[in-house]
Every structure is written in C-alpha cells, then in structure tokens.
Amino acid sequence: MIFSSLFPSALPRPRPTEPGERIFQPPAWDWVAVGEVGWWVRPDWSETLLGPEGLRLAEWRESGQLAKVKESPQRVVYRVDLPEGSIYIKHFLVPTWRETLRQWFRRGKGRNEGKRALRLAQTGVPTITPIALGERRRRKFLFENYLITRGIPGAVPLNEFVEGRLDEIPEPRRSRLRRELARALGELTARLHEVGFVHQDFHPGNLLVDLTPEGRPWLAMIDLDALRVRRKLTWKDVGRNLALLNHYFWLRSNRTDRHRFLRAYLAARSDRPRRLKAFARGIEEATRAWAERLWRRWGRRCLATNKYFQAYQAPRAWAVASRDLDAATVAALLADPDAPFRHPGAALLKDSRTTTVAELELPVLGRPRRVIYKRFNRKKWLDPWLCLFRPSRAWRAWQAGQHLASRAVPTPQNLAVIARTGSLGLPLDTYLVTIKAEPSITLSDYARTTLAGLDPTERREQIRRLTPALARLIRTLHERSLSQRDLKAANILIEGDPSAGRLSLIDLVGVRLVHPLPRGRRLQNLARLQVSLADVSGRTRTDALRFLRFYLPWAQTPRRDWKALWRAIQRRCRAKEARNRRRGRPLS
C-alpha cells in the first residue's frame, strides 16, 4: 500500500492527558528540583529525561540523538530520538526584560501550552502530549522554561504534506485524499471554534497530518502558545481566523477545494451566519487583505540583515546577499565586482550600452550553480545623482524579484545586489546576481528558433499549449498587484520542456507594486505583450483572443466585457506601434 510506504507508522496515537486530570499537579506528575530548575514530570519518564545535572541534553548531543528543529531568539526546538520514541523539547528563552515581565503576568509559555493541550484533548481535538515541564526561577521571577512532549509517529506538518508528499500519491487516490483533507480540516476547525478556541497563528505548519490504515487523513494541532479562548466568538472573529488559514490554501488549491472546506466547516457548526454568501465573500476579502500585509512584510526581507539575507559593507562598495551565497564569495565580488566578466568559465551573453550580462558558476549552498551576473551600465553622468531621488535599476530589479517570490509569481531566485560607490557614496555601477534556470530559453528566442522550425500542425499544437500557461502567468502577476511595463516575450522564460508550460519572468526593472492595480497598468502590460508576439509564426488573432479568455476571471467579470478590453488593448497596440515609428525604434 502506498499509504503505508509513505507513512509507515500508522500506529495507535499517543494518549493525551486524560480529561479530568490536573496537568503539572500530583498525583499524576512528580516534582523534581535540579539546581535552579524545577521539573514537573510524568513518573514513567523521570529517569529517561533527567539525570543528576538536570535535563540530559549534553548526553543526547554527544550520542547523536539530539537534532535542532528550529531556533529563534525566543525559543529553540529539539527532537530527541529515544528507544521509547521521539520526543520534542521546546526551550523557551528570555532574551530581554520584556519576556520576563510578560511571564510575570501571563505565566510561562511552556505551562500555558501544556494547559491548552489538556483543554484541547478534553474537546476531542488531537494535539501534543506533555510529559515534562521545567521552569527556572529566581526570587519568584520565571526565566527560561521547557516543555517536553511526545512525538506523534508518522505525522508530518500539513504544509509539507500538501507541497510534497501529496504529489507522490497516484490518481485517483490523490484527488480523493484532497477532498477528504478539505473536509477533515473543516471539521477540526469547526470543533475549535465551537468551544471558543481561536489560533492566532493559524496556518498548516501548526497542523500535523497522517493517514489512517484506511487511507483517511488524521489531523492534530501543535504550537499552542498562540491558542486563545474567547468567551463570545462572533462570526466576524470566525471570518478573520478562517482568513489566516485560507491565505495558504488560496495560493495552493482551487476554489472548489476551499468551498468544500467551508461546507464541511458550516455543517459541523451548531449555528450558521445569517448571510452565507456575504460571509464567504468576506473571508476571501479578508484573506486578500491579510495576504497583502504579509506579502509586503516578506518583500522587505531583502532590504537588510535577517535570517534570509545579509548586508555587507566594504570600501567603495556594498552588497545585500542571500544567505545561500557564501560570505567569502560576496567578499570577493565586493573587492572586484567586474572580476566575473573576466572569469575563464564565464560566457558573455550581452554587452550593450545599458547592460552587460554573463553566465558563470558560483558556489551556492556549498555546491557550484550556474548564475546570471548582470551589470547595469551608466547611461549618462547624471545617473549616480538620480539615485538620490529614486533607486538604481539593480536595486529596483532586486526588490521586484523579492516581491515576485513573496507573492508566488515564478521568477529566478535572487542571490545578491552589489553597488560600486564613489567618494560621495553614490552608486557608480550596480550589479545583480540571480540563479540561472536550467534548461531554459526566452519566449522570444523559442518563437524565433524552435517554433518557426516546426511543421504547421505541431506548431499549432504548441501554441495552444503555451497560450493558457502565458495567460495564467500574467493573470497571477496582476492578481498579486504587480505590473511589468516592459512585459515582452524576451522577458518571459520557458523553463524545462516547453510542452510543460512552466513560465517565469526575468529582467524585472520595470516591475511595480501597486495595490489595487489600476486598469490602465493592466492594459499597458497586455498591449506590450501583444505587440511583442505580433510576429510569432503561426500565431493568429484567435490565439490572442484565446489568451484573453484564459486571462480573464470569468466567474467574477460581467458578461461580454472582454470585447471592451479587447478593443482597449488594440488601441494601445496601435499607439505603441505609431510611437515607435515616430522615434525610429524597432518593435521587440
């Protein structure tokens, strides 16, 4: 069975604390004091977890049983593989006095999470099983504390399952499992809300999933520090909480699956909102508003040092680089930003007045990867001074790449942005480093070299395959409040097999983030793309109309409004062609 091979441990679940028991209290729990740390521990786990010097972290680390799962300034999470089974240790830290004062009023995070696990178990929601709580106190002030729980054999985070393991299950089981997963998630969420629970960090990473021997999804909730109890949970509160969960699936599932989840949720509730359609629309609107705030926060990650990026400073140069790029490599690039163009293995792809582009190998995550190294040349002496009023072209492309990645719009990964500065600190030359998608070819090159050489029947078939993929890419770009004023075939990349229709965007200097995206920007983008595809061999006006039909969200647009959009695009195309003729510039 594929289910048993993917999830070999469809074993009986760990028994949570029995309803009615008092957690971290005798007689079910023993009290053990070791130094400054006091421990409440299950009697059958005391010798396994605690030694003469306290928690056996050092022993487990030396034996290779200890693995660090997550680390932040506020907590460290470990997994320990023991003969009795895996356990998880949450070490809650107190880096500042703010956390100390918080724990004075709200108690420790470990104790709170353990008590919430008990309350969840009493409502029938599967969750973690605490086996020990450790608290270090000084003069009644609580400092660092520990919560130790049993692992759930075979269960994986729901986001990991959806993004990876679900694709390993063949059809039709995969589709059936998607349907059952939507229903199971709706029922679990309804059970939470029915008793007044609201998870303030409600996302699939805080849910575990496993498959029963019958192949049905089984869900459990973890990371309970963000779980809150409301005396009166209104439907407005419910809508906001569902929007948190919906944000993840909004990008990774279709409307049918989300509708199935909502129906299962409402069927499991004892009451319903008065206006169901308005309630459903409100969830979608709240999801979009929440997504915009989250995307903008993610889009700012590339501006400074954090766990994803590192800022570097050198004499007459600076850089911001992904942590995937080795620090020694960044230091070498800062010392001589033009060195890659002279590298023996570099292939010069473009050398024009505005840009110089090369392809070469750089170490990324410890192994050599092909990268695109691009220098934005100074077009005039005034360019450095203009950076006082607007970002440089390299910085705009760097920021745009992060916006696209944050909003799940396909684009090659950013690695670094570099600036060589003058005596006044103004950027003289700027550079951008991105991962090269392999194999890949631009849409314009594919149309000129490969598509034109196919026989008419195969060419028509390939155009029909690429048209919906291209429309979905542009629709996604616009739905995520992004526009690209230089949206042409040369700036669209076909990755892998052209028949698969995997497209991404490159050359992002012209990308802008505007929410909500004005209609005029959409029209300009569509017209620019249409002009660049006008000379593609075998592409007809019918293909252009088919592209428009795939681009438009028919379920959310008035009937026959495509005609007005079609005419507006044609007017802009004619205006673009006339403008280029007046200026003596060729169309591309």
The rounded distance, in Å, linking the Cα atoms of 411 and 404 is: 7
Predicted pLDDT at 104: 72
User: Residue 217 corresponds to which tokens in the numbers above?
Assistant: 């999804």
Q: At 13, is the pLDDT very low, low, confident or very high (cuts 50, 70, 90)?
A: very low
Pick the CATH number of 156-299 from 1.10.287, 1.10.510, 1.10.150, 3.30.1360: 1.10.510
Lowest mean pLDDT segment, chosen from 124-138, 373-387, 545-559: 545-559
Distance, in Å, from the CA atom of 406 to the CA atom of 470, rounded to the nearest integer, reads 20
Residues 534-585: tens digit of each pLDDT: 989 999 999 999 999 999 976 456 666 788 899 999 999 999 989 988 988 8
Q: Which fold has domain 440-583?
A: Transferase(Phosphotransferase); domain 1 (1.10.510)
Q: DSSP label at 127?
A: B
Strand order of the β-sheet with 30-34 is 30-34, 37-41, 129-138, 141-150, 85-92, 75-82, 66-71
- Residue spans of the domains in the chain: they are 2-150, 156-299, 303-435, 440-583
Residue 181 to residues 157, 216, 395: CA-CA distances in angstroms?
A: 13, 8, 42
**What is the pLDDT, as a whole number, of residue 141?**
79
Site of tokens 């590192």: 310
Evaluate whether 303-435 and 440-583 have a shared fold. Answer: no
Least confident range from 2-6, 291-295, 429-433: namely 2-6
Q: List pLDDT tens digits, range 29-38.
A: 999 998 889 9
Residue scoring higher pLDDT (46 or 103): 46
Task: Answer whether residue 266 shows pLDDT above 60.
Answer: yes
Check whether 6 has a pLDDT greater than 50.
no
Quick one: average pLDDT of 486-510? 94
pLDDT for the residue numbered 319: 97
Phi then psi dihedrals of residue 133, to 5 deg: -135, 125
Higher confidence at residue 334 or residue 11? 334
Q: Has residue 140 got a pLDDT over 80? A: no
Residues 6+ apart with CB under 8 A from 325: 362, 363, 364, 415, 416, 433
- Residue 318 has phi, psi (to 5 degrees) of -150, 165
Average pLDDT, the chain: 90
* DSSP H stretches of helix in 325-376: 327-335, 339-342
Distance between CA atoms of residues 276 and 458, nearest Å: 48
In the numeric block, which tokens belong to residue 448? 């000129």
Q: Please determine, for residue 278, whether its predicted confidence score (pLDDT) is greater than 70.
A: yes
Strand ranges inside 291-390, DSSP E: 309-314, 317-322, 347-351, 355-364, 367-376
408: left (phi > 0), else alpha (psi -120 to 50), else beta? left
77-103 confidence digits (pLDDT tens) = 999 999 989 999 999 998 787 777 777
- Whether 381 shows a pLDDT value over 90: the answer reads no
In the CATH hierarchy, which fold is given to the domain comprising 303-435?
Answer: Phosphorylase Kinase; domain 1 (3.30.200)
Kindly report the pTM of this predicted structure.
0.84
Q: How many residues does the chain have?
A: 588
**pLDDT given at position 138:** 81
